[in-house]
Amino acid sequence: MVMLHLSQYLRKKKFNVSHQAHAEVSCHNSSVAQQLTPILNSVSLGASHMTEYSAATRINWLNTVFLLFTPILALAGVILHWSLLSAPGLTEFLVFIAFYFACGLSITVGYHRLFSHRSHEASWPLVLFYAIFGAGAFQNSIIEWCSDHRNHHKSTDTENDPYSAAKGFWYSHMGWVMIEEENFQNDFSNVKDLQSSKIIMWQHRNIFLIGAISGIILPALIGFLIGGFATGVGCLVWGGLVRTVFVHHGTFLINSAAHIWGTQPYSEENSSRDSFWLAFLTFGEGYHNFHHTFQADYRNGHKWYHVDPSKWWITSFNFLGLKSNLKSTPKHSIEAAKIDIKSKKAFSKLESRNIDTEEFQSQIDEHKSSMRSSLYEIHKLKRELKNCVASSKKAVKDKIIELKKNYAELKAELKAVFKEMNRQYKTFARVV
């Protein structure tokens, strides 16, 4: 029950850390603050530097105890249940999977893509589902979570970013939840649109009770009804404690690892990265560079083969009529962003060798413009095709085929331009 009481106060607040801040920490927190702060300052994986901050800081004891001891309780629960009662069986496994997906998708689809970014609309049964099982993820209310996340996108990698990766891996992963500014107050002014929802406000007011029931009591009850006491305890351990740890750190990895390791095929304006392997662990959130570049898109993995369970979940319920108004970025905008990044890197290499890039610039600009026009026309004709009479459909389809062929040719020509740029770079390097 201690964990349940702590979860009520699982807060996500920005904080400032400095070597000088120890003197400003209250006496009863000073010893721990002196131990934690150097650790947080010293670990800066993926950060070019660690910025110093002078604001007073304090340990958030509730968050710290919850985050550090939940894995310990989970491990102890697994050992004790296995040794004293029974080995986990099929019921425990299925309950773990069910609650892992229910709580995890409530965060990625509900908290993130629906409520934070308004990338689609959902009917009230789904909103209620996300509110109930999002609370069971023990990542605070929709209001609190979305407020922090919108601040993150508004001020990515800056001092005002609640979980800036520029301050180090452990800071952005979980440290920011454990230490906070003493005078920080979230006024929720950036989530006024969410406050009009009765379901969201109901969850915000009752986050502790809802989380305790959906995240701990419910899996234990299901296990008890199916297999009795031993199975109930097993489902509490696996569906409650272990699942909470997995969902926590899956979410945390997006704040930390997805801003450190991976590629930047769409934008270099911030530290966000695309990571194929991370997408497997985070319901598709690993395509994070795409997300930061096109925030309103309901997809993170925009290609059909991208591993993005959240995207598949959204499209499935859209087919059933429980979701609508799915926002997606036009292909021509995505391709233009990719060309811009690729050309930027290529120009940088050539300029480092003092190779003239003016001719290449004009070629790339011309091809990019033509490719965007072709993709835009294809998109427009596909929409028109749905309303065409039977006699006109063949002509429209033929036009689409022609445009696709033209696009493929332009893409091949652009590829040849980049190949020539790379050849000149390598040739100059050999000469030098």
User: What residue numbers bound the domain in which 316 lies?
Assistant: 2-324
Q: Which among 324, 348, 381 is the end of a domain?
A: 324
Q: Whose CA is closest to 77, among 190, 257, 240?
A: 240
140 Rama sector, left if φ>0, alpha if ψ -120 to 50, beta otherwise: left
User: How far, in Å, CA of 244 to CA of 70, rounded?
Assistant: 8
Give the pLDDT score at 130: 98
Q: Are residues 200 and 287 in the same domain?
A: yes
Q: Which DSSP helix (H) or strand (E) runs through 36?
A: helix 27-42
Buried (b) or exposed (e) across 400-418, using 16+ Cβ within 10 A? beebeebbeebeeebeebb
Write a three-state SS string for 73-138: HHHHHHHHHHHHHCCCCHHHHHHHHHHHHHHHHHHHHHHHHHHHCCCCEECHHHHHHHHHHHHCCC
Give the type of residue at 373: S
Q: Are residues 320 and 339 in the same domain?
A: no
Instruction: Fill in the DSSP letter of residue 324.
Output: E
Query: In the chain, which residues have pLDDT < 50?
Result: 1-54, 183-184
How many domains is the chain built from?
A: 2
In the numeric block, the tokens 């690892």 are attached to: 257
Q: Which long-range CB contacts under 8 A does 410-413 form with residues at least 24 apart?
A: 410/367, 410/370, 410/371, 410/374, 411/371, 413/367
Helix (H, G, I), strand (E, B) or coil at 323: strand
Q: Are residues 85 and 121 in the same domain?
A: yes
Q: Are residues 262 and 309 in the same domain?
A: yes
Q: Which among 256, 290, 324 is the end of a domain?
A: 324
Q: Are residues 265 and 344 in the same domain?
A: no
Residue 183: count of CB within 10 angstroms of its CB: 7
User: How far, in Å, CA of 279 to CA of 250, rounded?
Assistant: 10
Give the pLDDT score at 353: 84
Q: Are residues 164 and 192 in the same domain?
A: yes
Beta strand pairing status for 57-59 and 179-181?
antiparallel
Q: Are residues 272 and 319 in the same domain?
A: yes
User: How far, in Å, CA of 174 to CA of 39, rounded?
Assistant: 12
Backbone angles phi, psi at 122, to 5 degrees: -135, 145
Which residues, in sequence order, are bridge partners of residue 121? 324
Q: Are residues 422 and 290 in the same domain?
A: no
Tokens of 37: 């702060």
Q: What is the pLDDT of residues 395-432, one digit of tens each?
A: 888 888 999 999 899 999 999 998 988 888 888 766 55
Q: Are residues 286 and 376 in the same domain?
A: no
Helix (H, G, I), strand (E, B) or coil at 158: coil
Q: Are residues 124 and 214 in the same domain?
A: yes
Backbone angles phi, psi at 228, to 5 degrees: 90, -165
User: How far, in Å, CA of 315 to CA of 284, rounded?
Assistant: 14
Q: Are residues 347 and 209 in the same domain?
A: no
CB-based contact 139:281 (threshold 8 Å): no
Sorted by sequence, the CB contacts under 8 Å of residue 264 that are 6+ apart come out as 272, 273, 274, 289, 341
Q: Are residues 230 and 373 in the same domain?
A: no
Which residues, in sequence order, are bridge partners of residue 181? 57
Q: Whose CA is closest to 124, among 297, 306, 317, 313?
A: 317
Q: Which among 286, 303, 324 is the end of a domain?
A: 324
